[in-house]
Each structure stands twice: as C-alpha cells, then as structure tokens.
Structure 1
Amino acid sequence: MQFLDFGHDPWLVAISLVVALVAGATGLTLTKDLSQIPPARRKLAVAIAAVALGGGIWSMHFIAMLGLRLPILFYYDAAITLVSALIAILMVGLALILLHFTHRTRGVIVAAGSIVGAGILAMHYVGMAGMELCQPVYTPGGVIGSSVLAIGLCIVAFGVAYGRRTNRNIALGTLCFGAAVFAVHFLAMAGTNFIALPEAREFGPLISNEIMAMGVILSSFVIFGAFLWVGATLLIPEEGTAQAAAPAPAAEPTREPTPEPEQPVLRIPCERDGGKVFVPAGEVVFLRADGHYTQVYTSEDRHFCAWPITEATKRLTPLGFVKVHRSYLVNPVKVTRFERSKDKGRCTFGTETLPPVPVSRSHLKEAEEAFV
C-alpha cells in the first residue's frame, strides 16, 4: 500500500480558523439571555444558533479540505457531504436544547460539551468518507487523540461560556470552541494517510473542489452575515442604559406637596394556552422554579413565566412574598396551615387543587415568622 504525499495551503488553513471563531462567537452570542424571551422565540434562537455552530464546524472542515494538496484529482460525494453537515447541526442542536430547556447543572454542561465534541468528530470522519478517487486511512493515535481533544475542549468551551453568561465568558468560550474545531481537524489529519483508488464509489452525485468552494463560500457568507448582525445588536445600548446616560432635568421650583398616586399593582407576565396574560401578584398563591423559568400557581390556574426564580424573588419579596425553599416562593396571605417536622416543614393552602409546598431547613425561621 503506497501512501500519497499531501500538504495544506496556509492561507486556507488560516481562513478555516477564522470561520470557526466567527461561527463560535455567533452561536454562543445568539443563545445569550434566552430565559428572558418567550419559548417560541427561544426555540427559534436555538435553531439559528445550531445552524451557526454546526454550519461553522462543517464550513471550517471543508475550507481546510479545499486547502488539502494531493498529487491526484479527487471529488466529493454530494449525499455524504450533506449528511456530514446535518450531523454537525443536529448534534449541536441537541446540546443547545439540553442547555436551554432543562435545568442547567454542571453535568448538563459536560453532557452538552461531550455531544458537540462527538458531533465535530462525526462530522469530520463522515465528511472524509465522502472523498472519491481517494481513500483516507486512519491511525489509532490520530483517532484517539482527536477524540479526546474534541470532547475535552468542547466541555471547556461550554463550561466557560455557560458558567456566567457575560460577554467576556462568551468570548473565551468562542476561543475554546474555535480551537476545538480547528485543532481536532488538523490533529486528525496528522494521523491520516491517503491512497489512490482506481474508480469512484458513487453513493450520490459527485461534486468537484470548485463546486465545493461555492458551497463553502455560501455557508461562510451566511455565518459572517449572522455574525455582523449579532455584533450590531451588541453595540446598541440598552434602553435603561441610554436613559441613565441622559442628563438629569433641571430641578423645578418648590411646589405645594400633592398626594402621591397609588402605586400600580404588580402584574406578573405569564403565558397560558399560547397567549400572554398578566397575573396580579395578589392572586398568586406560590411560584415554583422550573429550570430557568417559573410556574405561577393561582387558586384556579397554573401559568408559565419567563422570570427565573431569582428575578421573581427580587420583585415579589418587597410585596411580602416569602422564599421557603430554593425553588419555591409563597404568598403568606394564601397559606392556611404550616406544619413543621424536625428540620423541615410544609405549608398548605386549604384546597386539594394545589399541592403542599415544602419548607427547607435553611428557610424554617423566616417561614415560622411569616406563617405562625
């Protein structure tokens, strides 16, 4: 078996790294602050981010492959090439669903990073399987090394980007993601040899390097367009910031005091049956954390609220609500009975339609003061 000599165009290698970084920045930025938007828009943002990240993995791979220099002519199988792109997008999409539609724990972040790392590997080796008139031959060291690197760097990337959702952490996560995609490809290529084949093993239509270049340019154009759009939105100051920067109006002359208007009733923005409803705080019996969101219970209904439990606590405790558990916030006016059992407790609401709410040990004192 005679292996072929090969090399890489350094310019295309550099471009492939830029595309990987831009895709990472776009995808990770698109998923910032998703807990503050309704589920329908959140799903759309996750889908777009999956296309950006997965498409970036695919584009980086084939830009680098366009820079591959072999002494023979070779083509790509269009069907296998398309499958490789779908694998990358679907694997990234699965990871983002875990991160944004489940309770985000350290284990979930590790699982999401592992899935994306596996997606990079699967995309690479399926994409390589699409080569025609040329067969890649892998070494165990290349496969094992690229696998460890892909999963390890992706876990670090998501751990950093989702540890605290700040622009700084997203930038660091982008560097880790870009390094993962780039390093995995070239480490795997370092452990790969090529042999010439006498004829093509056609599974789908064949595409040449020229047509592949057009496809990669188109995908890169979409990714860079999304990157520019995301970057532009980040430069627009938030409404509150703009108002804070405005100069304060001049003080008016002293006037006779007037009665202060009544404060408006706080209404909690919720969703129910696909529609937007605003529930007065006084009608709420308790709130329960649901991942990064909350479920709002009234005497008759249950509603979905995009506020995390921390936001609900900040807004409702000044109104007298009591936090009795890390996942529960209770309106003490609605509590009909409080029971304590050793170092725990629970409160009930005088109706069978509402479940009892647990009171944790760390919140027993304030619960007793509010309910007893």
Structure 2
Amino acid sequence: MNIFWNTSLIALSVIVAVAGSFTALAHAARMRHAQGSTSIAWMVSGGITLGMAIWSMHFVGMLAFHLPIPLSYDLPLTLLSAVPAMAAALLGFYVLRTPAVSNTRIFLAGLFMGAGISSMHYIGMAALKMSPAITYNPGIYALSIFIAIAASWIALLMMFRGEQIKLPEYVRFALGSLVMGLAISGMHYTSMQGVTISPGSVCMGGAVHIDSPALAIIVSLVSLLWFGGGILAASFDQRLARHNALALSQLQHLHSTLEKSANDAAASMLHDLSESEKKMRSVVEGALDCIVMMDEKGSLVEFNPAAERTFGYKREEVIGRNFADVIIPFASRKAHREGFERFGKTGQSTMLGKRIELNAMHANGREFPVELAITAFDWTGSRMMVGFLRDITERKKAEFEINNLAFYDPLTKLPNRRLLRERLESMLDMEVAYKTYSAILFIDLDNFKTLNDTRGHDIGDLLLMEVAERLKSCVRSEDTVARLGGDEFVVILEYLSGDIEQATIQAEVVGEKVRKVLGQPYLIQDFDHYSTPSIGISMFHSQEMTVDELLKRADTAMYQAKQAGRNTLRFFDPAMQAELEARAALEDDLRFALESGQLKLLLQMQVNELNQIIGAEALIRWEHPEQGLIYPSQFVPFAEESLLILPIGQWVLETACAQLMEWQNNPVTQDLSLAINVSARQFRQANFVEQIQSTLAKFDISPHKLKLELTESLVFDNIADSIRKMRELRAIGINFAMDDFGTGYASLIYLKSLPLSQIKIDRSFVRDIAVDRDDEIIVQTIISMAHNLGLEVIAEGVETVAQLEFLRKSGCKAFQGHLFSKPVSQAEFNKLISQSVNSNDRFPSITYSPLALWT
C-alpha cells in the first residue's frame, strides 16, 4: 500500500524534536549545577521535557504519515507510549547527575535515551492497529535503534566533552540539541522507511481518529510553548544561578580572603605559639632550677633536665608517676598526699605562693635539703601545679659555716664572744623566773705570751685547744664554755643554788677543779709544758646588771687573781672594781688631755763640774683640770697599755725638737742638748728610726743635740733589735743615755756593744751615798766602769752639796737634781739661762746654795 508524507509536518516534527532536546539539555545543565531537591526537580523536569519532545515529535510525525485508508489510534496505548520516553530520559539524566561524568556514564545515558526513543516509537506504532499487522524490515529496524542510541550518545558527548575541543557553551548546547533532535526524528523516519503495510489493509484502531493538520499544529504549539517556558525557566534559573554564583563567588572570595587572613593569623599564632613553646621549652630545659609540673592528682607531667640532674631520674622514667613517690622522703609522703587531696577538693594549698625548705630524696635514696616554690594554674580544664626546686645543700653548708664563724671560735670550736653574750642575755632574762644564782668564771692563762714568744704561735694554738677540751670536762652539759680571744676563756655555771652562800661554794668548787685540771702538765708535740690559770668569779642573779657589767666584774676578779700571784682564783671585789673604773676614767681623761693641750713638757737643767748648764732633760707633766698636777708614774703605765703612749711619745719628740730649734738659733743656747725618755712601745715600733729622722728633718735641727734616754729593761728585752736601731740613729748623730743604770739586769757583755754616749746613775743610789757605804761603792763602781768603757756619767737626783762633792771626788762630771733646779716650764728655763749668762764662759753658769735652791 502506498504511503504519502506531509513534508511541512515532517519539518515541524524535527523542529519540535530539536526544541524539546534543547530544553531538556538545558534542564540537564541546570540539574548538574543545582543541589538537593532543586537538582531533582530539574532532573524530573528535563526527563519529562525530553519525553514530551520525543512523544510530540512522534505524534506530529505520525500526522505527517498518510495512507489511502482512514487511520485511527488506540488512545491508552498512544498515551502510554510517552512513559518509556520519559522514564528513559529520567534514567539518563539520573546517570548524569554525578559531579564527575565519565565516558561510561555518557554512554549509558545515551543508551537509555536511545532505548527510550525507540521504545516510545514502536509502542506508538503499536497503537496503530492494522490488519493485517504492520511488518518491519529487520535491518532498518536495527538501524533505527542504532541511530537513536548513537545520536543520543553523540549529543551527550557534545554536551559534556565539548570543552575539550574548546567549543563555547551555547555552541555545544545548539549542536547537542540538534544532534539529539535528529536522533529522535532520524530514528522515527528511518524506522518508518522499514514499515510494510500490505495492500488492502484495514485500520482496526479505536474511536480516536487523528487526521488533522490543525491538531499537529496545536500539539506542536503546545509542545513549543512548554519548551519555551522550560527554556525561559532554565534561562531565569541560569541567570539567577549566575547572580547567585557571582554573589557566591564574592562570598567565596571574601571567605577566601577571610580564610586566608584567618589562616595567616592562625599560622602566625601557631608560629608564635611554636616559638613561644620553643622559648618556654628552651627556658624550661635551660633553667638551672628544677621545674616539675603535676596534675591535680599529683602525677608528674613535666620534669626538666635540671630535675634529672638533681634527682637522678630520666624524664621518661618519672612522667605519669606520683610526685611524692619520686621526690618526697618516705616519712613525709603521707602528709604530702593529704595536701594534694585537699588541693584537688578545694583548689587551695598552704604551700602556694611561698618558699619553703624541706628534705627531698635522690633516686639512690639519699636525702638532701631543697627550696621549693609552688604555683597553680588552669590548663585544658584541669588544675595544674608547677614546682620550682633548688638544691640548697651547698647553701646550708655555707650557712652552717657562716654560723660557726659568727658564733664559734675557729680554733677551739667553743662559743665565741658574740654567742656568749647572747646566752648571757637570755640567762639574765630567765633568771627572774628560775630564782637561782649563776656564776661566770673568767679564766686567763698565766705567762701564755712567753710560750708564744719562745715556741711560736702554732704551739700556743695547740695549748689553747687542749685547754678548751679540759674546760669542757670540768663542767656540766648545760654549762657554757666560751673563748673570748687570745688566752681568755669564760665558763658560765647555770642554775646554782637559790641561796647565795651555797651558790658561791658551788662556784668555788668548780673554779678549784678548773684550776687543778688546767694546772696539770701538757704534752705538746715533743715536750712537756706547765701552765696555770688565773680565775675570776662573779656571781649574778636576775636582771640586776647588764652583760657588759657582768663580764667587767669577772674580768676584775681575774685581775685580782693575777695581782695575788697567779694560779689562784678570786671572787669579785667591789673596791678593786672602783679602782679599775677610776683608772679607766683617767685613761679617757688622758686621751682628751692629749687633744686639748693639758700635757706640759718641763725642763730640768743638767750641769757640769764647773756649774755650767750643758743641757736639760725633758720631763712630761699632766695638768688635770680637776686633780691638778699628775706625774708620769701615775699615767704612763696605762698609757703604755692603751697605746696612748705612742701619740704622747711623738708629741714629746716634736715639742723637744721645737725647743732645740729655738735654742739653736740663739748663740747663748746653741750648744745646749736636750734629753727625752723613750717608752718601750715607742722604741719597738717598726718605723721608729724613720719617725726620728723625719721629725729632725721637719724641725731642721742638729741630731747630736738630741739625746734619747733608754731604760735597761727596754734595751735588753730584744738586744739585737735595740742595737740595730741605736746604731742607725747613732750614725746620724743621735746620742743615747742608759737611764736608771744599776736598777735592772744589764749585761756587761752586751753593754760594750751598745752605742751609748752616757750612763745615768739612778737617784736611788745617789740619795744615800753620804750615809750608806754600799751605795758609795756602787756609785764609784759605775763611774769607774763607765770611764773604762769611754762613756760619760751623769748623776740624777742630786739634792745636797755633800752628794755633789762625793760625786765630784768619784769622777762624775755631770749632774742633775733639785740642788740646781726643779723641773720648770720652757719659758722659765729660758729665763734661767738668760740670768746665768757669763760672757767669758762657753756655757751659762749658775751658783747654788745649800740653803737656797733654784726653783
């Protein structure tokens, strides 16, 4: 049977297919750009649109198909034919929803869509019920299906792989839509070419009769309107998507900027944190102090290298272990754990913010002192504690040594003066409560200086150490034995009887025990030594006196024991104390006298056998504002002891040199000499010779006019040193006189070695020469010996003419005494010189009378 075609409707069907394909592919593109329910909506819309495009194209294409007989279609089957097209399109689009579309997925989608196109076509053809039935050419049948699948696949490739051949998106859409539309229409019209309808066939369809071009146009218009609406919707969505994409892009850019900034800030913070952690780690690891960190249960979470060195553990050995089990000694662990439990419950600890000292334990079990400071802080929601520990073993040793140096004598290890005073002060406070007497024994070793001078200080130190041990053996454990210095010791006897008489007896018993024990022989190195003590005892009770007063009383009592012949003990005597206090007051006055000009230098003339004044002796006097004139015998001894004799001696020397300088400038007195007495301490100064030389140079006087008078005891105490100094001064012209000759223990062997110019006969021999035969012989012997040694002789204390005549007959040629003049001031002496001037004599002459002496 012949088939006729309406070419206009054929063209319209192709347009419908292309337009529908474009719309469906546009929906597919929106599907891929959307997410969630929106993506599903676009997928369903695209599937339905593509199904309608296939169905509409088939519907219009069938209207373009004409046979010589009337045609009608089965309506349910015609409508049903749209279902496989839509289902295949939905399935294809579903396959293409994934973000990454592989070639396999594109092929499967093309396969589904081609199958849908083919299914829809042949189901639609089945709605045309012909009798006999329509037959198909198998080759063309297969070709039609192939065209549907291949064209669909090519269309999808164009859509999803078009960017690989650098095609713009709208070109890819147009080409894809064209290929997809040709696939739909090509499959339809290829299939129709293989249709065979037998002549005489009759259409057996239902009542639906489709044979109007107007209907084709209506269907096409409806479809195109649908497609147009879909395209507009897709375009609007795309524009909205572009707007959203732009906004999203801006947000993403802002987000990216903020993220970059945040990342940079985070990176900077991480870097800072890393650097801070490195610095903190460096500080922790480089710290000299031990740093340990504990959690609220006391488990260690940090243990720095200093802690490893101090406690003998490796860090990995102790992390996680309890702090108490690692560092705290066994005896203290219970208290430590209780403190941590209290801290865990209350967040408070009595150890926070304090530096405490306690014992720690080394890994080997050795305990040693440490200083500990603990702080607490919150870290990751937990309460942490950090302990800073320092080994103070060396500091404790140093403190112990400092304490010993401060309070103990380094030689004997006995308490020193400072600790003794502290204990005495404490006792004086406590005596009020105890109502008992105590005693203080002041002990001085007799002739200790002799041992030092003859055997050396090392031997003296050995004796002092032995004395300390013997003293400790004589007293109770509660008593105190201390060393004040030198060879002076103090014993404090505490808690004696409440009755003064009984307490005194108890103190005397201990004192006698000490005297006997210390008096026993000492074996020092390789020789025996005998030493005795002088002991002074002072009883005391409550706060009736100060520590200084108490020590002064005991020292006074010891001085009384010395006065009593040594190797004895004496209790404090108030009369002796008063005498010593007066002596001390006089010493203070003497110090002031030197500064205020109360000391005076008097001159007593010396004459020769012709009654000519040849010089004078300078004699010091103290004009006390309250006590009047004080003689040297009353103040020189304690001036020697207090070393005030040194400035006094220098004052005498300078005053004498000033007088010689005055005499030297006067023709009448230029030949006079002046003698001054030199004390032992002054002469023993290492720079004594230099002092004399500098003083002579200061006043620019002739050295031979100055005469230094030395006593026998001074010279022979250290004969070698005396000879050396005397020769040095004699070499520059200084003259020496041996004062008080005959009263000491001068050795004739050394006497001839001394560079003396004069011997002075002591007044004790001169006084009785007129009545005592022994004194006459002594004086004559001294004069004869001096002449034989080539020395001048001067006699002092000449008060009578008889004494003078005897001395002259015995060969003495120089005299000094009240017969000629008493000691007078320098002004009075110079006046006497002026009155006695005889122009014919070298020296001023004097006249004397037994009844009228010079005053």
Q: TM-score, normalised by structure 2?
A: 0.27
1:58 maps to which residue? 55
From the superposition, tell whether residues 72 and 317 of structure 1 become closer, same or farther in structure 2 (CA, over 3 Å). farther
1:73 maps to which residue? 70
1:234 alignment partner, SS class: helix
1:62 and 1:216 in contact (8 A); partners too? no
1:208 maps to which residue? 209
Moved more, 208-217 or 23-32: 208-217
1:184 to 163, 187, 201: 187
The alpha carbon displacement at 1:102 in A equals 7.1
1:13 to 4, 10, 33: 10
Matches within 5 A, 1:312-351: none
Cα distance per residue 1:349-368 (max 9 Å; x no partner): xxxxxxxxxxxxxxxxxxxx
Structure-2 separation of matches of 1:176 and 1:319: 50
Structure-2 separation of matches of 1:199 and 1:228: 37
Structure-2 separation of matches of 1:105 and 1:76: 41
1:66 and 1:213 in contact (8 A); partners too? no
1:73 alignment partner, SS class: coil
2:235 maps to which residue? 234
Structure-1 separation of matches of 2:253 and 2:233: 36
From the superposition, tell whether residues 198 and 147 of structure 1 become closer, same or farther in structure 2 (CA, over 3 Å). closer
Structure-2 separation of matches of 1:120 and 1:155: 12
2:29 alignment partner, SS class: coil
The alpha carbon displacement at 1:39 in A equals 1.2
1:76 alignment partner, SS class: coil
2:101 maps to which residue? 104
1:98 and 1:112 in contact (8 A); partners too? yes
1:32 alignment partner, SS class: helix
Structure-2 separation of matches of 1:264 and 1:16: 47
Moved more, 102-111 or 71-80: 102-111
Structure-2 separation of matches of 1:264 and 1:136: 64
Structure-2 separation of matches of 1:146 and 1:28: 22
Structure-2 separation of matches of 1:242 and 1:42: 19
1:169 equivalenced with 2:172 (yes/no) = yes
1:155 maps to which residue? 153
From the superposition, tell whether residues 147 and 67 of structure 1 become closer, same or farther in structure 2 (CA, over 3 Å). same
Structure-2 separation of matches of 1:199 and 1:49: 35
From the superposition, tell whether residues 114 and 315 of structure 1 become closer, same or farther in structure 2 (CA, over 3 Å). farther
Structure-1 separation of matches of 2:110 and 2:258: 34
2:281 maps to which residue? none
1:40 maps to which residue? 37
Instruction: Calculate percent identity across the aligned residue pairs.
Output: 25
1:75 and 1:133 in contact (8 A); partners too? no
2:63 and 2:216 in contact (8 A); partners too? no
The one-letter amino acid paired with 1:112 is: A
Structure-1 separation of matches of 2:30 and 2:162: 11
From the superposition, tell whether residues 47 and 139 of structure 1 become closer, same or farther in structure 2 (CA, over 3 Å). same
From the superposition, tell whether residues 71 and 315 of structure 1 become closer, same or farther in structure 2 (CA, over 3 Å). farther
1:157 and 1:172 in contact (8 A); partners too? yes
The alpha carbon displacement at 1:136 in A equals 1.9
1:140 to 138, 141, 146: 138
Which one scores higher on RCO, CA 8 angstroms, separation ≥ 6?
1
Structure-2 separation of matches of 1:37 and 1:102: 11
Structure-2 separation of matches of 1:144 and 1:20: 21
Cα distance per residue 1:239-279 (max 9 Å; x no partner): 48999xxxxxxxxxxxxxxxxxxx9984xxxxxxxxxxxxx
1:347 maps to which residue? none
Cα distance per residue 1:300-356 (max 9 Å; x no partner): xxxxxxxxxxxxxx99789769xxxxxxxxxx9xxxxxxxxxxxxxxxxxxxxxxxx
From the superposition, tell whether residues 198 and 225 of structure 1 become closer, same or farther in structure 2 (CA, over 3 Å). closer
2:60 and 2:220 in contact (8 A); partners too? no
The one-letter amino acid paired with 1:190 is: Q
Structure-1 separation of matches of 2:120 and 2:108: 18
The one-letter amino acid paired with 2:6 is: D
Structure-2 separation of matches of 1:18 and 1:122: 21
The alpha carbon displacement at 1:98 in A equals 0.7
Structure-2 separation of matches of 1:77 and 1:224: 26
The alpha carbon displacement at 1:80 in A equals 1.1
2:551 maps to which residue? none
From the superposition, tell whether residues 117 and 242 of structure 1 become closer, same or farther in structure 2 (CA, over 3 Å). closer
1:59 and 1:220 in contact (8 A); partners too? no
The alpha carbon displacement at 1:216 in A equals 7.6
Q: TM-score, normalised by structure 1?
A: 0.59
From the superposition, tell whether residues 320 and 179 of structure 1 become closer, same or farther in structure 2 (CA, over 3 Å). farther
Cα distance per residue 1:166-191 (max 9 Å; x no partner): 22211110011011111111111111
1:31 alignment partner, SS class: helix
1:92 maps to which residue? 89
Structure-1 separation of matches of 2:254 and 2:68: 76
Cα distance per residue 1:195-237 (max 9 Å; x no partner): 354572x6xx531115897488347514433325524763869
2:17 and 2:185 in contact (8 A); partners too? yes
Structure-1 separation of matches of 2:260 and 2:104: 31
1:91 and 1:115 in contact (8 A); partners too? yes
The one-letter amino acid paired with 1:97 is: Y
1:29 maps to which residue? 26
Structure-2 separation of matches of 1:130 and 1:240: 47
The one-letter amino acid paired with 1:62 is: F
2:13 and 2:56 in contact (8 A); partners too? yes
From the superposition, tell whether residues 320 and 111 of structure 1 become closer, same or farther in structure 2 (CA, over 3 Å). farther
The alpha carbon displacement at 1:79 in A equals 1.4
From the superposition, tell whether residues 40 and 318 of structure 1 become closer, same or farther in structure 2 (CA, over 3 Å). farther
Structure-2 separation of matches of 1:54 and 1:315: 47
Structure-1 separation of matches of 2:223 and 2:126: 26
Structure-2 separation of matches of 1:69 and 1:315: 69
From the superposition, tell whether residues 216 and 124 of structure 1 become closer, same or farther in structure 2 (CA, over 3 Å). farther
2:43 and 2:90 in contact (8 A); partners too? yes
1:130 equivalenced with 2:120 (yes/no) = no
Structure-2 separation of matches of 1:42 and 1:24: 18
Structure-2 separation of matches of 1:29 and 1:315: 35
Structure-1 separation of matches of 2:146 and 2:96: 22
2:112 alignment partner, SS class: helix
2:17 and 2:181 in contact (8 A); partners too? yes
From the superposition, tell whether residues 97 and 210 of structure 1 become closer, same or farther in structure 2 (CA, over 3 Å). same
Structure-1 separation of matches of 2:10 and 2:2: 18
Structure-2 separation of matches of 1:171 and 1:161: 9
Greater Rg over alpha carbons, structure: 2
Where do 5+ consecutive residues of structure 2 fail to align? 164-168, 265-269, 271-855
From the superposition, tell whether residues 229 and 58 of structure 1 become closer, same or farther in structure 2 (CA, over 3 Å). closer
1:56 and 1:220 in contact (8 A); partners too? no
1:75 alignment partner, SS class: coil
The one-letter amino acid paired with 2:67 is: L
